[in-house]
Amino acid sequence: MMTEEKYNFVKYYERSFREHWDKEAVTDYGTDVTLTYGQLAINIAKLHILFEECGIKTNDKIALMGRNNSNWVAVYLAAITYGAIIVPILQDFHANDAIHIINHSESKLLFISNLNWEGIDLEQIPEVKAVVSLNDWHPISLALDPKKINYERIAELFKQRYPDGYWAKDVHYADRPNSEIGSINYTSGTTGFSKGVIMPLNGLAGNVRFGIESGLAYEGARFVTFLPLAHAYGCAFDFLACLAAGGHTWLVGRTPSPKILLNAFAEVKPTLILSVPLILEKIYKKMIVPQIQKPPVSWVLKVPFLDEIVCAKIREQLVQAFGGEFRQIIIGGAPLNPEVEAFLTRIKFPMSVGYGMTECAPLICFTPYDEGSKLYACGRPLKGIMEVKILEPNAEGVGEIVTRGENTMTGYYKNPKATKESFTKDGWLRTGDLGMLDEDGFLYIKGRCKTMLLGPSGQNIYPEEIEAKLNNMPYVLESLVLQQEDNRLVALICPDYNEIDADGLTHEQVDEQMEEARKQVNSELAAYEQVALIKLYPHEFEKTPKKSIKRFLYTNMV
């Protein structure tokens, strides 16, 4: 447990608001809304008064649901610095799931976007005292006297409390040791219903500490925040580490299409970019693949020395597409396609792959690009913060990844059974992932324990590795490898209809292309990994906010 005051989570923000008062802190991208650290601190102080008026006490829960914006940031920090527990809810959750989370967490207040509120009724969340709009702070629904949280009343109380104005010297937050609970994050996994991860302030502080001490976040750093802040990955670094260090984050509240993101990168010129693999893979497929498949370029790439010139040009083009001033791109949240990773490594693109999970808020392993990251590895355990080992490795060194350290959760909220199952008897957290460690301490992910399949003679089959090969085939947008009752492997494939339409393929030709893809992939696989059949799926698979396919929805489709 980090007990030194400099690592205290709440103190990080007391110091940062005081030291960076006049500097820009957050911008709602695509609008004219930019808040300095001082303006953000004033909004937090007003929210503290609102909490008092609503009778919120220490360790009460406050739920928060909506797209990335400066009001979301203010509520999150206001809750924790007040002494409450924040319950972030992913904006893409169905209303029924949101209602369950609000009730299960026993939240007393709900801050929510107007759009997300449309599917919820106050009668469905009886313990909630008030619902406040994230769009403009107006009370949407009240179980309290409306006069108590009227926006004008809060503004008047603020003036009474701070008659000379609110300044850096007035920033004083709750005295909270890192052992206290900071948040309850409800996971959205690939294998079933979400669980509430109890994260002590220590876990949040551990990630912030690493972000600052590693140099990822620093005073004046620029971030484009397009990952949902309700998810641990974007929250930890695009938001918490950035603001603790004195950086400036541009909050993208729209669906992060490649076009929107490339425009944002060109405008902001971020110093660090956090992304899930899908974003980078789409940009690679649209920008790079068409170039390297053209005969002149494809030939030159096979010629020693000449290939270095072409690689340098492609690298520079890609660097400029991301704004031109970033130190590195960090990929996390899901496996990166090996072909994409191999090519980006070949052209020396500044990119690193990390590893984490919501239960570690989220970071477990990461090695910066300039410290010698390895191909297909996801870094080493965070030095002095996290430990990793492989449980019951097989002959190849592959087994379940377990971890422990500063960033680890204390358990699942009101779920002692799941908590007990998630830890070994000697206190290591089971990640549910399969992997191996090399002699230098780098971690390699093989797949999920729950998705690993068994071959006819008991061989381990990792469907994610087969899917990565299928996804590289022409006209394949994404795939899912499943096992039939007779143990044969079947691949569900969602075709790339844009590519198919552009090339004018008929239905028969699409079938021929899929069969050719199956044969090509099988030629690269062991006998026990062979795909017996391909079935076409009409649209993209449903995904988690990390853009991982929700596999459990499709297990009965073969």
CATH of the domain at 469: 3.30.300.30
Question: What average pLDDT does this structure show over 67-80?
Answer: 98
Q: Answer whether residue 49 is part of any domain.
A: yes
Does residue 416 share a domain with residue 523? no
The SS3 assignment for 67 reads: coil
Can you give the pLDDT at residue 337?
Answer: 85
Does residue 427 share a domain with residue 368? yes
Does residue 17 share a domain with residue 129? yes
Q: Answer whether residue 482 is part of any domain.
A: yes
Can you give the pLDDT at residue 543?
Answer: 83
Give the pLDDT band (50/70/90) at residue 191: very low
Instruction: Determine which of 82-91, 237-246, 281-290, 418-427 has the lowest per-residue pLDDT on average.
Output: 281-290
DSSP string spanning 157-192? HHHHH-TT---GGG-------TTSEEEEEEP--SSS
Which of 219, 221, 250 lies closest to 234, judged by CA?
A: 250
d(CA 15, CA 246): 10
Does residue 162 share a domain with residue 138? yes
The structure tokens listed for 239 are 């938001």
Mean of all residue pLDDT scores within the chain = 92
DSSP string spanning 431-469? EEEEEEE-TTS-EEEEEETTT-EE-TTS-EE-HHHHHHH
d(CA 258, CA 261): 5
Does residue 113 share a domain with residue 100? yes
Q: Answer whether residue 312 is part of any domain.
A: yes
Give the pLDDT band (50/70/90) at residue 31: very high
Can you give the pLDDT at residue 146?
Answer: 65
Range of the domain at 549: 453-553
- Give pLDDT tens digits for 253-277: 988 888 899 999 999 999 999 998 8
Domain total for the chain?
3
The SS3 assignment for 101 reads: helix
Q: Answer whether residue 256 is part of any domain.
A: no
Instruction: Determine which of 62-66, 146-150, 482-486 has the lowest per-residue pLDDT on average.
Output: 146-150
Can you give the pLDDT at residue 187?
Answer: 82
d(CA 346, CA 338): 12
| CA end-to-end distance (rounded Å), the chain | 48
Contacts of 91 (CB under 8 A, 6+ apart): 65, 66, 67, 113, 116, 228, 230
Can you give the pLDDT at residue 546?
Answer: 64
- Burial (CB < 10 A; 0-12, 13-18, 19+), residue 32, is exposed
- Tally helices (H) and strands (E) across the chain: 19, 26
Question: What average pLDDT does this structure show over 405-412?
Answer: 97
d(CA 226, CA 260): 10
> Which run of H or of E encompasses 107?
strand 107-112
> Percent of the chain beyond pLDDT 90?
73
Q: Answer whether residue 290 is part of any domain.
A: yes
Can you give the pLDDT at residue 147?
Answer: 67
Q: Answer whether residue 315 is part of any domain.
A: yes
Can you give the pLDDT at residue 413?
Answer: 97
CATH number for the domain harbouring residue 438: 3.40.50.12780
β-partners of residue 405 are: 386
Can you give the pLDDT at residue 212?
Answer: 97
> Percent of the chain beyond pLDDT 70?
97
290 or 213, higher pLDDT: 213
Which of 432, 433, 549 lies closest to 491, judged by CA?
A: 549
The SS3 assignment for 193 reads: coil
Does residue 378 share a domain with residue 353? yes
Which of 159, 179, 201 marks a domain boundary?
201
Instruction: Determine which of 452-461, 493-502, 542-551 has the lowest per-residue pLDDT on average.
Output: 452-461
Does residue 464 share a domain with residue 443? no
Does residue 372 share a domain with residue 321? yes
> Which run of H or of E encompasses 364?
strand 363-365
Q: What is the 3-state secondary structure (H, E, C) of 509-545?
A: HHHHHHHHHHHHHHCCCCHHHCEEEEEECCCCCCECC
The CB-side HSE value for 38 (13 A sphere, CA atoms) comes to 11
Does residue 417 share a domain with residue 316? yes
Does residue 502 share a domain with residue 371? no
d(CA 351, CA 328): 5
Does residue 484 share a domain with residue 442? no
> Which residue bears the tokens 């026993």?
106
- DSSP letter, residue 554: T
Can you give the pLDDT at residue 456?
Answer: 65
- DSSP letter, residue 382: P
Q: Answer whether residue 264 is part of any domain.
A: no
Instruction: Determine contact, residues 202/99, Cβ cutoff 8 Å.
Output: no
Which of 165, 183, 201 marks a domain boundary?
201
Which of 148, 180, 201 marks a domain boundary?
201
Can you give the pLDDT at residue 545?
Answer: 67
Strands (E), 276-362: 329-331, 351-353, 355-356
The structure tokens listed for 533 are 């059949």
pLDDT at 297 over 70: yes
Can you give the pLDDT at residue 193?
Answer: 61
CATH number for the domain harbouring residue 134: 3.40.50.980
Residues 219-246 as b or e (16 or more Cβ within 10 Å = b): eebbbbbbbbbbbbbbbbbbbbbbbbbb
Can you give the pLDDT at residue 190?
Answer: 45
Can you give the pLDDT at residue 457?
Answer: 59
- Burial (CB < 10 A; 0-12, 13-18, 19+), residue 258, is middle
Does residue 71 share a domain with residue 36? yes
Q: Answer whether residue 546 is part of any domain.
A: yes
